[in-house]
Amino acid sequence: MSEDIVVVGGGAGGLELAIKLARKFKRRTDKNVTLIDCNPTHIWKPLLHEIATGSLNSNHDETSYLMLARKYQFAFVLGRVNRIDGASACVHIEASLDENNQEIVAARTVSYTRLVLCVGSLCNDFGTPGVEEHCLLLDTRAQAERFHQQFLNQLHRIHADENEGRRLSLVIVGAGATGVELAADLHNVAKQLPEYGFKAFSSDRLRVMIVEAGPRILAQLPQRVSASVTRELQKIGVEIKIDTMVSAIESDAVKTKSGQDISADLVVWAAGIKAPGFIANSGLPTDNIGRVSVNECLQVEGSKTMYALGDCCACPMEDGSVVPPRAQSAHQMAARVYKNILADLSGKPLTAFKYKDFGSLISLSEFSTVGNLMGNLMRGTVFVEGWLARLFYLSLYRMHQSAVHGFGAMLLIMLGDSIYKATRADIKLH
Ligand X SMILES: Cc1cc2nc3c(=O)[nH]c(=O)nc-3n(C[C@H](O)[C@H](O)[C@H](O)COP(=O)(O)OP(=O)(O)OC[C@H]3O[C@@H](n4cnc5c(N)ncnc54)[C@H](O)[C@@H]3O)c2cc1C
Indicate whether 14 belongs to the interface with ligand X (CB under 6 A): yes
User: Closest distance between ligand X and the C-beta of residue 28, in Å?
Assistant: 25
User: Closest distance between ligand X and the C-beta of residue 348, in Å?
Assistant: 26
The span from the CA of 79 to the CA of 398, in Å, is 28
Phi and psi at residue 128, in whole multiples of 5°? -65, 125
User: Closest distance between ligand X and the C-beta of residue 332, in Å?
Assistant: 11
Strand-pair category, 306-308 with 114-117:
parallel
The span from the CA of 367 to the CA of 235, in Å, is 10
The CB-nearest residue to ligand X is: 11
Binding window for ligand X (CB under 6 A); candidates: 26-34, 258-266, 321-329, 418-426: 321-329
Strand-pair category, 306-308 with 246-250:
unpaired
Indicate whether 92 belongs to the interface with ligand X (CB under 6 A): no
Indicate whether 187 belongs to the interface with ligand X (CB under 6 A): no
User: Closest distance between ligand X and the C-beta of residue 117, in Å?
Assistant: 9
| 8 A C-beta contact, residue 12 and residue 399 | no
Interface pick for ligand X out of 10, 290, 359, 371 (rule CB under 6 A): 10
Q: Using CB under 6 A, which residues numbered 334 to 373 contact ligand X?
A: none
Indicate whether 325 belongs to the interface with ligand X (CB under 6 A): yes
As a three-state string, the secondary structure of 35-55 is EEECCCEECCHHHHHHHHHCC
Number of residues counted as binding ligand X (CB under 6 A)? 34
| 8 A C-beta contact, residue 356 and residue 375 | yes
DSSP codes, 122-190: EE--TT-TTHHHHEE--SSHHHHHHHHHHHHHHHHHHHHTGGG-PPEEEEEE--SHHHHHHHHHHHHHH
Nearer to ligand X, 114 or 326 (CB): 326
Residue 320 burial by Cβ neighbours in a 10 Å radius (0-12, 13-18, 19+): exposed
Nearer to ligand X, 169 or 363 (CB): 363
Q: Using CB under 6 A, which residues numbered 120 to 149 contact ligand X?
A: 120, 138
Nearer to ligand X, 34 or 230 (CB): 34
x-or-dash string of contact with ligand X, 48-87, rule CB under 6 A: xx------------------------------xx------
Count the neighbouring beta carbons within 10 Å of the beta carbon of residue 252: 13
User: Closest distance between ligand X and the C-beta of residue 48, in Å?
Assistant: 4
Interface pick for ligand X out of 22, 25, 37, 213 (rule CB under 6 A): 37
Indicate whether 177 belongs to the interface with ligand X (CB under 6 A): yes
Interface pick for ligand X out of 7, 12, 116, 229 (rule CB under 6 A): 12
Using a CB cutoff of 8 Å and minimum separation of 24, what contacts does 59-62 make?
60/420, 62/141
The span from the CA of 427 to the CA of 425, in Å, is 5
Query: How far does CA 310 lie from the centroid of its chain?
Result: 11
Indicate whether 45 belongs to the interface with ligand X (CB under 6 A): yes
| 8 A C-beta contact, residue 175 and residue 242 | yes
Interface pick for ligand X out of 18, 19, 38, 186 (rule CB under 6 A): 38
Interface pick for ligand X out of 253, 327, 373, 384 (rule CB under 6 A): 327
Interface pick for ligand X out of 6, 13, 340, 371 (rule CB under 6 A): 13
Q: Which residues form the interface with ligand X (CB under 6 A)?
A: 8-14, 36-39, 45-46, 48-49, 80-81, 118-120, 138, 177-178, 181, 276, 278, 310-312, 325-328, 330
